[in-house]
Amino acid sequence: MKLLIIANWKMNPQSLQEAKRIFDSIKRGVRNIKNVEVVICPPFIFMPSVGRQTPNVKIGAQNVFWEEKGAYTGEISPEMLKNSGCQYVIVGHSERRKYFTETDEIVNKKLKKIIETKLIPVLCIGETQEERNKVKTETILKRQIELVLKEVSGLKFQASRLCIAYEPIWAIGTGKPCDVEEAQKIGLLIRKIISKLYSRPISQKLRILYGGSVNSKNAAGYIKEARLQGLLVGGASLKAKEFIKIVRVVS
């Protein structure tokens, strides 16, 4: 299975011209890297025109709505994403949970629709600093996974497609990444939770990613030492040179 390096551009950059420039540079920079799948998640408005996908550079979305169509002003459906060539969808990002009060129940609805539409979900989970201080990380992650995967049918067939990104909230955009050993422990914990919920073979198939202040200096540790299957990169993914370096050091 290929490593997965996802660029979450969030609400950046401010013009299509700049988006195209970053996209093109990344595409050129990773052109010869075959063992990594790079997924660029631009804002919706740039998705159709940011550039063409290649065998190793795909387009993903930062969010999606759970209904198929209809009177939902301002929303984007899974089918629209699929029809515009998008393959991956980030779901449950902590910024959406914080600013748009997305609950685990909402994330569950979205996840089901993403799976039904045969898009690849990148499910984000993670604890706050306060929860971590209270040594509640394990409980929080377990609860998030259980609620979000509730009644997710067909997981047997989708398990190898499901990606879970451990994104500790205290590490996102703070410049304070999680220790490699801690990320490794959490990776094993996630597999254990999935194994109990479903089965061991299923838990072995899914890809587990780390996200939170990843840069070209710390990236390799999460893949080569912690043995995770990918990274979710925010800030550093908008600097083409730095992002290319991240992809190179893990490849």
Q: Which residues in this chain contact ligand PEP in the complex, by CB under 6 A?
A: 8, 167, 172-173, 211-214, 232-236
For the chain, the farthest-separated pair of C-alpha atoms sits apart, in whole angstroms, at 48
**C-beta of 97: minimal distance to ligand PEP in Å?**
12
In the complex with ligand PEP, the residue whose CB is nearer, 212 or 230, is: 212
**What's the Cα-to-Cα distance from 85 to each of 59, 79, 121, 204, rounded to whole Å?**
7, 10, 15, 28
In the complex with ligand PEP, the residue whose CB is nearer, 184 or 218, is: 218
In the complex with ligand PEP, the residue whose CB is nearer, 108 or 213, is: 213
DSSP letters, the chain, are --EEEEEE-TT--SSHHHHHHHHHHHHHHHTT--SEEEEEE--GGGTTTS---BTTEEEEES---SSSSSS-TT---HHHHHHTT--EEEES-HHHHHHS---HHHHHHHHHHHHHTTPEEEEEE---HHHHHTT-HHHHHHHHHHHHTTT-TTHHHHTTT-EEEE--GGGTTTS-PPPHHHHHHHHHHHHHHHHHHS-HHHHHHSEEEEESS--TTTHHIIIIIS--SEEEESGGGGSHHHHHHHHHHH-
In the complex with ligand PEP, the residue whose CB is nearer, 150 or 176, is: 176
**C-beta of 90: minimal distance to ligand PEP in Å?**
8
> Are 184 and 228 within 8 A, CB to CB?
yes
Is residue 68 part of the annotated active site? The answer reads: no
**C-beta of 85: minimal distance to ligand PEP in Å?**
22
**C-beta of 234: minimal distance to ligand PEP in Å?**
2
Is residue 79 part of the annotated active site? The answer reads: no
In the complex with ligand PEP, the residue whose CB is nearer, 23 or 203, is: 23
**C-beta of 220: minimal distance to ligand PEP in Å?**
16
* Active-site entry in 37, 95, 102, 167: 167
Q: Would you please indicate which residues are annotated as catalytic (active-site) residues? A: 93, 167
